Structure 1
Amino acid sequence: MLRALGLAVLLAATTIAAAPSASAVTRTAVGGGTGIIFRLKPTPETPTSYYICTLTAVGRDSAGNLVGLTNAHCFIDEQGNKLVGERVYRDTSPAGTAFSPAPIADSRPDLETGAIGTVTYVSTPNNLLNSGPKGLDYAVIKLDESRVAPTSTVGQVTITSIGAPPANGTRMCKEGHRTGLTCGKKLGTNGIWFTHLIWTDGGDSGSPVVSGQTLVGNAWGAQHSSPILSIIDAMNTQGGVGAGFHLAT
């Protein structure tokens, strides 16, 4: 599978202060474009390795759960295991730009807020560069509403609606934690995905791709994205957390 944008990091040992008591936790804004960090080893407080990606969107399902979406390949380990149950944190490092990407070594979990959610479903990854089954490459995260609140604006992107990818040649943009806002024209389609000239880098996996303020897809690298309407259809068919997904208000 293509893993270039869901980035694994190994670090020298670093000490991070422990999280405060639950009574001190405040709700943190998260939305499409928020950086996330997970697979923190050996512990979230003293990680020597971790992975980073970006949320595609935050919404609610038909059961009222607050739900975050990102890429599936973020939560598939080296043996191909899908990491359902993985706890996810917000990345506290400032978002970067295309000319000054966020330093990978600066990524750290938001221990004050604590884990913002748990992975409940991992789809088939894209497998663009191998012979594996081709998937929409999305993951579903059930968010902890006692810790986070949805926001429609992250960085320079505001998401107010969901729709289909625009016509070829239309300018679209993505907001990723690693490289911030980058834009480029839609090129066409490649099987179940659409293609474009939007720049992405490691850590941008899952970035929302928008046309104006309309969310049209999730970015996963090699100038490819999966249509958000196809992802929503797949979640509805799958059932459970994420089914009936719509933007949070």
Structure 2
Amino acid sequence: MPNALRRTLAAALVAAGLSLPALPAHADTTTPVPIGGGSGIVQQLKQVSPGGGYSFELCTLTAIGHDAEGNLVGLTNAHCFLDADGNKLVGDTVYDNTTPAGTPAANAPATFDFDATMAIGPIGKVTYVSEPNNLLSGGPKGLDYAVIKLDPAKVTPAATVSAPNGSTTIDSIGQVPGFGTRMCKMGHTTGVTCGITLGTDGPWYLTAIWTSPGDSGSPVVNGTALTGTAFGLQHFTPITSILADMNARGGVGAGFHIG
């Protein structure tokens, strides 16, 4: 399971002398924050020392929409919610990454604004974690997606997400186009990058779209149609495969649609 596109900052921060306040029991914001496909998230956030050191991981949302029951739902990669032993962290709390998005030449920092993020408070919880891709480990070839039930009091769905090097708008679901079609992704670390579709690789697709750590879960789009979720090594899972699996499984996320 490649962690190439999720950013991890663990107990080494404590050794480096980083000390921040303990996580607040709760926080509130009067204005929901606009978040969409391509927005950064913070997960696996926990204290690792009594002095306030903490660990966390950073990923990117694939999309936000509603399911058949009217739940506000976010999608990203499954491997964003695996611990060091490979356990699936269903129930993990998700936060907004309040740092500005980056570009390939000037990546977003491998951290986040603690005070700003805690002022918003938790934006949702993970309700399902699929089999990760296991591309490097040789394990089962999973779809590598996670379902997040978002708090509508904290989140306003945004169709367009911007970075210094461009923006991405998602307004529909689309099939993966044919070989050689130019598509783009929006990741919190590197912003908008584009490349051609190279073809299938098992249940996934291979592209020439550049990605970096923290871009896990980036939406891959053909125009304004969401076609997949990037998980690293220039691979992505087709969104149609993910939606079919969600619908067959039922529960939060079933009947997902943009908007």
The answer to whether 1:7 aligns with 2:7 is: yes
* Distance in 2, Cα, partners of 1:101 & 1:216: 24
| Unmatched segments (≥5 aa) in structure 1 | none
* Distance in 1, Cα, partners of 2:215 & 2:233: 12
- Deviation, 1:94, is 0.9
2:253 match? 242
In the alignment, residue 198 of structure 1 is paired with which amino acid? I
Q: Which whole-Å deviations, capped at 9, do the CAs of 1:118-157 have from their partners, x for residues lacking one?
A: 0000000001112211111000000001111101000100
1:169 match? 180
1:40 match? 45
* Distance in 2, Cα, partners of 1:178 & 1:16: 25
* Distance in 1, Cα, partners of 2:202 & 2:29: 48
* Distance in 2, Cα, partners of 1:188 & 1:103: 32
* Distance in 1, Cα, partners of 2:28 & 2:39: 24
Aligned partners of 2:22 and 2:47 also within 8 Å: no
Give runs of aligned pairs for residues 15-54 of structure 1, distance below 5 A.
15=20, 24-42=29-47, 46-54=52-60
* Distance in 1, Cα, partners of 2:36 & 2:155: 10
- Deviation, 1:5, is 0.7
- Deviation, 1:80, is 1.4
The answer to whether 1:232 aligns with 2:239 is: no
Q: TM-score, normalised by structure 2?
A: 0.90
- Deviation, 1:25, is 3.0
| Unmatched segments (≥5 aa) in structure 2 | none
* Distance in 1, Cα, partners of 2:210 & 2:226: 17
1:214 match? 225
Aligned partners of 1:19 and 1:112 also within 8 Å: no
In the alignment, residue 87 of structure 1 is paired with which amino acid? T
* Distance in 2, Cα, partners of 1:187 & 1:51: 30
- Deviation, 1:18, is 7.2
1:149 match? 156
* Distance in 2, Cα, partners of 1:227 & 1:216: 6
The answer to whether 1:140 aligns with 2:136 is: no
Aligned partners of 1:25 and 1:112 also within 8 Å: no
- Deviation, 1:106, is 4.3
| Cα 1:23/1:117, change in 2 over 3 Å | closer
The answer to whether 1:186 aligns with 2:197 is: yes
Q: TM-score, normalised by structure 1?
A: 0.94
Q: CA RMSD in A?
A: 1.9
* Distance in 2, Cα, partners of 1:83 & 1:21: 20
In the alignment, residue 14 of structure 1 is paired with which amino acid? S
Q: How many residues align?
A: 247
| Cα 1:4/1:187, change in 2 over 3 Å | same
The answer to whether 1:62 aligns with 2:73 is: no
* Distance in 1, Cα, partners of 2:218 & 2:168: 11
Matched residue SS, 1:104: coil
Greater mean alpha carbon deviation, residues 3-12 or residues 166-175: 3-12
